[in-house]
Structure 1
Amino acid sequence: MESSIHTIACNNLLVLFAVVTMTGIICSKLSELLKIPDVVLFLIVGIFIGPSVLKFIDISQYQVENQLILTFGSAFILYMGGKEISLKVLKNVKVSVLLLSTLGVVISAFLMQQIIGLTFGVSAMVALLAGSIISSTDPATLVPIFNQIKINKKVSQTVISESAFNDATGSILTSAVLVIILSGKFSLQENMYSLTLMIIIGLVVGLFTGIILLALVNEGPKGIFKDYTPIISIISVIIAYELSTKLGGSGYMSCFVVGIVTGNKQNFKLWLSQKSYDTDCHVVETLGTICRMCIFIILGSQVDLQILAKYFIPSVICVLCFMFIVRPISVIPCTLIDRKAKWKKNEIIFMMWVRETGVIPAALCGIVTAMNVSGSDVISSVVFMTILITLIVQGVTTKFVAKKLGLLLEPNPEEATNREAL
């Protein structure tokens, strides 16, 4: 009897995975035709195939699997975000990126705490938790957008670097607020100490894990596992996350740092063969795509339309305040302080506009919802509307805004001729 129950549960889980991934593939193709971010369709379709409408999937029966998808998925996407960071470009704008991904996140979180608290009438800590979750931007959305839209490298690398770094900061801040809510204790000194410790341990573990495991797949005598590069990449995320968490650090920060090491391996005198590099890229991109599909579709399936309708107007008000008030306020001091970067007015305005919310906030919201934290209905409503509105409005208009601000790079005529010839 027990065996048959487990078999049925296993079969149901396999069907659920097949439905989610097939739905994700269809949405990805539609997004190409409609020219909108795929995660928007993932979310919307997730609602329709979830318990609220068509009841095709219901992840509530699989809490462990749900937690696994959210935790590993967000960690792996942070790893991919780290790989997109160029240390050479980062050197020129490092102060701005550092401020945007730390001070900017904190400013956004605490300003949104005030707005969410006033709009919804929830406790300060619930409002701060919601503000912390949505305070980071999304490399998984921004990277594909900037691959399609060629703009000033200084601006695009800054925005991408900020999105990758602030995902880690937002994750750490969310974890800290969550600990305070669950323990019921607040001590500024203790929490600052814990936060600092989480960051330091996360950085150190990520650095050593990245270098050691990358050395094992290096093109040379020491690269004894170079034929298994994609598997080592996946294992590096798991090891970095688990080891950092066990030592009291930020697992997300560690995964991000491993990604930076992997993406800038030449700086560490490490190299991959072309075969290993190509194989690794294909596997990592494929797994990353699956993670994005699962996170967003499952998040959409967990949306309660009654709660969303109940909090629709205050949620929209919060998102509009976030886009047009909070984001500009967080960008201005971070860019003006960095005199060496010599930011122009049009570049600053563009960075104010581009702040899509995506994968990590979605994953963090899913974790909070699964834990049944007080006020989770308000939090999920705010997070969902923030993701949906910022992705639709800002994601779709990025090229238009860049062109209006004079940041869009015109294609080289010779390159265009060569592409036509090919």
Structure 2
Amino acid sequence: MGWSAADALVDADSLGPVLLVSAAVLVVCIVAVRLTARSGLPTLLAYLAVGLVLGEGGLGINFSSAEIGQVLGYSALILILAEGGLTTRWSSIRNAVAPAVTLSTVGVVVSVFVTAAAAHWLLGWSWQVSLLVGAIVSSTDAAAVFSVLRTVPLPRRISGMLEAESGFNDAPVVMLVVAITTSLANPAEAQPWWMIGILAVVQLSVGTVIGAAVGYVGGGLLRRTAAATSGLFAIGVVSVSVLAFGAATVVGTSGFIACYVAALVMGNMSLPHRSAMLGFAESVGWLAQIGLFVMLGLLASPSGFVDQLTPALVLGLVLLLLARPVSVIVSLTPFRVGWRDQVFLSWAGLRGAVPVVLATVPVTVGVDGVSWIFDLVFVLVVLFTLIQAPSLPWVARHLGVTESGHTQDLTVESEPLESIDADLVEVAVEEGSRLHGVQVFELRLPKGANVALIVRDDGSFVPSPTTPIRVGDQLLVVSSRGLRSEVERRVRAVSRHGRLAGWIPEPSGSDAR
């Protein structure tokens, strides 16, 4: 006899078993992060697997409400977008915003029509259903990409584009899926495509303005009334991001883009308690991802997977080898993005949570005979994550789009850093970097920045000015708050040119790479 999760919430006597299962699931998922990192697979697969094991095909927990799944899915996506905006530095995506926005709008439309045409001609589906499926699977998940590429240093021109695309593409895809689904459910009330396009532009534009305004005003208010407790301040920042979603939705615009923009604005303001804020946002983001993917695993019905295996393979291959590359070429060629970058961005178009959540929309709106779409999208996401994810590091290296010397921010749980207005930057010296052999003083870091620690061969030491840097080293650089960008530019220059950095002119736009 199956156990209904909804029934358990009504009975207070079930609190103990529910907390037992929930805590055990969290622990298992946290452990799974380490295991998937070693295998090169995104953590979403482990979380989905946990949901499947707990669901009707495993331990028998009955969770079959598409309506509840959609509400919980949207709620989780809001928190994930908030975390993405707060942790994204404007300097890392500034030069990628225009191509990323084009990829998230024009590229999405191109991908939808290419996928829909293939589904209509190869699988024999109606144009309406083909367009609906094409829209559902058109959204990529850069979070899945970065979970695979933690150890592969991407240049800013690519990582920034992936970050920006992941933040921008959810909103237009959600609007497109809702519009197509509504026209299927009520054909008499369907609006012409030109009207849908105009409404989409208006909603995205107004949503962006609302998000920027709420983020700026909310961040300023929190900064002026900052509580002594960093934890309360962090809760306030995330709450402002959620507030932006609600405000935009109430006035009929895109809440998802408003949420992301508000978080992006606050994440790049000079707010106090920054370390605590980012740590809390990351924790909330992880919790939302775990809950989202486990819930989607519970919602899936393994009995329907076999029937959808062939269509999922066909559509997945079309997406991977045709729709995504064509959308990348159309969107990025006008920005003179190199062919190597375009090939990698095409292969890096992993599908994640958004398509699976959107697959619940046709059921909740009341479209008849399309409940199979959820199983199709679920199988497609899992199957092509297994195909693409392990190969991404190999593809990046063989295309030559990795960066030999890269820097990354450290989240340091240390309140004194706030009071002395300092930053910590970690520099990883990769194979091929010309940092190898350079002595510390030859870095010529700006005044106010210094290499405080070197980690080498499982040990660490404080370097002297004449200490040579080696491949495999990790350098901990301490700098004044305003010098971080200058430190990063200097380290990248030395990584490319060695001791002669500064004497050799940098190519145009190199600081964005």
Shift of residue 376, structure 1, vs aligned partner? 3.7
TM-score, structure 2 normalization: 0.72
Shift of residue 230, structure 1, vs aligned partner? 1.7
Amino acid across the alignment from 2:156: K
Partner of 2:30 in structure 1? 25
Aligned partner (choices 299, 303, 309) of residue 302 of structure 1: 299
- The structure-2 alpha-carbon separation of the partners of 1:95 and 1:212, relative to structure 1 and needing over 3 Å to count, comes to closer
Once the two structures are superposed, residues 140-195 of structure 1 have per-residue CA deviations (whole angstroms, 9 ceiling, x without a partner) of 22333444210222122112222221122222222222332333323224323332
Name the structure, 1 or 2, with higher relative contact order (CA <8 Å, separation 6+). Answer: 1
Q: How many residues align?
A: 407
Q: Percent identity?
A: 23
- The structure-2 alpha-carbon separation of the partners of 1:116 and 1:53, relative to structure 1 and needing over 3 Å to count, comes to farther
| 8 Å CA contact 1:216, 1:226 repeated in 2 | no
Aligned partner (choices 122, 125, 132) of residue 122 of structure 1: 125
CA distance in 2, matches of 1:302, 1:200: 34
Shift of residue 254, structure 1, vs aligned partner? 1.0
| 8 Å CA contact 1:86, 1:263 repeated in 2 | yes
Once the two structures are superposed, residues 178-213 of structure 1 have per-residue CA deviations (whole angstroms, 9 ceiling, x without a partner) of 332333323224323332232123112211111122
Amino acid across the alignment from 1:80: E
More displaced, 74-83 or 102-111?
Answer: 74-83
CA distance in 2, matches of 1:336, 1:4: 53
Partner of 1:229 in structure 2? 233
Shift of residue 8, structure 1, vs aligned partner? 4.8
Partner of 1:406 in structure 2? 400
More displaced, 166-175 or 366-375?
Answer: 366-375
Once the two structures are superposed, residues 233-276 of structure 1 have per-residue CA deviations (whole angstroms, 9 ceiling, x without a partner) of 331233122221111011111111112212322xxxxx122xx2
More displaced, 328-337 or 91-100?
Answer: 91-100
Q: Give unmatched runs, 5+ long, in structure 2.
A: 1-6, 405-429, 441-450, 461-513
The structure whose residues are more often helix, as a share, is: 1
3-state DSSP of counterpart to 1:311: helix
CA distance in 2, matches of 1:18, 1:236: 28
The structure whose residues are more often strand, as a share, is: 2
CA distance in 2, matches of 1:175, 1:291: 23
3-state DSSP of counterpart to 1:249: coil
1:211 and 2:216 aligned: yes
Amino acid across the alignment from 2:333: L
Larger radius of gyration: 2
- The structure-2 alpha-carbon separation of the partners of 1:170 and 1:85, relative to structure 1 and needing over 3 Å to count, comes to farther
Partner of 1:247 in structure 2? 251
- The structure-2 alpha-carbon separation of the partners of 1:389 and 1:62, relative to structure 1 and needing over 3 Å to count, comes to closer
Partner of 2:454 in structure 1? 418
| 8 Å CA contact 1:168, 1:256 repeated in 2 | no
- The structure-2 alpha-carbon separation of the partners of 1:62 and 1:157, relative to structure 1 and needing over 3 Å to count, comes to closer
- The structure-2 alpha-carbon separation of the partners of 1:82 and 1:309, relative to structure 1 and needing over 3 Å to count, comes to same
Q: Give unmatched runs, 5+ long, in structure 1.
A: 266-270
Q: What is the CA RMSD across the aligned residues, in angstroms?
A: 2.9
Aligned partner (choices 55, 62, 65) of residue 50 of structure 1: 55
Shift of residue 110, structure 1, vs aligned partner? 1.6
- The structure-2 alpha-carbon separation of the partners of 1:27 and 1:58, relative to structure 1 and needing over 3 Å to count, comes to farther
CA distance in 1, matches of 2:247, 2:14: 31
1:112 and 2:115 aligned: yes
CA distance in 1, matches of 2:390, 2:322: 20
| 8 Å CA contact 2:116, 2:134 repeated in 1 | yes
Once the two structures are superposed, residues 58-92 of structure 1 have per-residue CA deviations (whole angstroms, 9 ceiling, x without a partner) of 3236954x344212101111222333544334343
- The structure-2 alpha-carbon separation of the partners of 1:261 and 1:387, relative to structure 1 and needing over 3 Å to count, comes to same
CA distance in 2, matches of 1:305, 1:365: 16
Shift of residue 291, structure 1, vs aligned partner? 0.9
